[in-house]
């Protein structure tokens, strides 16, 4: 890295083929090689990038942390000298979870986050066990939070991570084109309202007549889109100056102006003080 205040982020937008881990692994390696050539520090891959969304096979395809796909990610981080993030199916004592991980360039696991908000339209509650805690990863550029796809719709989770010190949120996703406007809006909203960076990597391609639009993004604390993918497979790279986080927070004092003690709903009498 060129200094802890500067971070070059690569978004590896893939067409994830369900049940074809060899193909998906090869594609991820190609993107990792390109990210290294581009001088990236961090590569973000899509949600469930190795096996895809055929969740009826989740129990068969899932691995414990440190094994299978997780071991492959750690090895890829070491081989290409990158911080590496993406989500995989994790098997654990309670069942199977959709788990986002962040590895350091030496292969060290910096954090593992089990998706808290399961998406009913993709039958996630039928096959997966939700996580029960937010995760903040230590990095040289500052605390980094992990979200997965549908989590973007829950501002409480992003704000919890921001209040705990997050300067960057990483969001692996498989977000379909029919809700593209929500994707574009929510990624920027989470960055602006929390005055931090968001790096959101969506998949591309078509699966069972569902179109995935890509449009992966890096957004700065002011809401500026620093890099945005198109609808194809590819790599998009942006340089993030982490000093912008503190600049934004000094200029617009959102955190100092919060009043959580007043965030309660008054009675339905029309009296703003709730006194009746």
Provide the annotated active-site residues: 47, 115, 149
Please return the burial class of 22, using the count of CB atoms within 10 Å of its CB with bins 0-12, 13-18 and 19+.
exposed
Asked if 88 and 52 touch (Cβ cutoff 8 Å), the reply is no
Measured CA to CA in angstroms, residue 56 lies from 53, 60, 88, 211 at distances of: 9, 9, 15, 20
For the chain, report the end-to-end CA distance as a whole number of angstroms: 59
- The secondary structure of 98-124 as a DSSP string is EEEEEE-TTS-EEEEEE-SS--GGGTH
Measured CA to CA in angstroms, residue 185 lies from 9, 153, 182, 201, 240 at distances of: 20, 10, 5, 14, 20
Using the Cα atoms of residue 126, residue 131, residue 137 and residue 142 in order, give the sign of their dihedral: positive
C-alpha of 155 from chain center: 14
Residues ≥6 apart with Cβ < 8 Å to 143 = 136, 137, 161, 164, 165, 166, 167
């Amino acid at each position: 890295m060129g200094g802890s205040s500067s971070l070059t982020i690569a978004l590896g937008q893939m067409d994830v083929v369900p049940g074809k881990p060899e193909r998906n692994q090869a594609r991820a390696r190609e993107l990792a090689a390109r990210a290294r050539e581009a001088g990236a520090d961090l590569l973000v891959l899509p949600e469930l990038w190795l096996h895809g969304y055929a969740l009826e096979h989740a129990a068969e395809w899932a691995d414990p942390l440190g094994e299978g796909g997780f071991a492959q990610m750690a090895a890829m981080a070491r081989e290409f000298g990158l911080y590496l993030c993406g989500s995989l199916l994790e098997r654990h004592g309670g069942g199977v979870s959709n788990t986002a991980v962040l590895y350091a360039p030496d292969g060290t696991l910096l954090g593992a986050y089990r998706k808290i908000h399961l998406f009913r339209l993709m039958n996630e509650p039928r096959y997966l066990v939700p996580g029960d805690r937010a995760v903040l990863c230590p990095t040289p550029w500052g605390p980094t939070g992990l979200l997965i796809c549908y989590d973007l719709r829950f501002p409480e989770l992003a704000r919890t991570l921001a209040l705990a010190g997050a300067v960057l949120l990483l969001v692996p996703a498989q977000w379909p084109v029919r809700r593209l406007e929500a994707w574009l809006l929510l990624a920027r909203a989470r960055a602006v309202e929390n005055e931090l960076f968001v790096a959101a990597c969506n998949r591309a391609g078509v699966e069972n007549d569902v179109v995935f639009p890509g449009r992966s993004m890096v957004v700065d604390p002011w809401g500026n889109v620093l890099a945005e993918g198109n609808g194809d497979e590819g790599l998009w790279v942006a340089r993030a100056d982490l000093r912008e986080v503190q600049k934004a927070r000094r200029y617009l004092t959102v955190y100092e102006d919060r009043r959580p003690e007043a965030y309660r709903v008054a009675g339905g009498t029309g009296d703003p003080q709730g006194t009746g």
